Structure 1
Amino acid sequence: MTYAIEKLTELLIKQDIKDKQKGQKELISKVGAYKSLIDLLKEIKEYEL
């Protein structure tokens, strides 16, 4: 589970940096972060099966 948290944090930081560089609104950032979270949860589910 620690790996998952580290991976999610890494994705959120990358998403935040990308959004700041592009000057996008906070809402778009959150949508991207949630999408990353959903993708990560799918990976974890597949890994655990």
Structure 2
Amino acid sequence: MPTDRNRMMLVSFRFNGFEEISREDGLVRFAADLSSIPPDPAYLDVLAG
């Protein structure tokens, strides 16, 4: 929903490759292409569990 606070997220989504796919009744829906996620950088260790 468009608010001053949500505007920060709108800008963040757009800068990070999300595309607006619909806008209806004040709601905006975004999608991102997950086929092009870059690998984790070498200096980052990801631990699970």
TM-score normalised by L of structure 2: 0.31
Higher strand fraction: Structure 1 or Structure 2?
Answer: 2
The structure having more radius of gyration, on CA atoms, is: 2
> RCO greater where, 1 or 2, for CA within 8 Å and sep 6 or more?
1
TM-score normalised by L of structure 1: 0.31
Higher helix fraction: Structure 1 or Structure 2?
Answer: 1
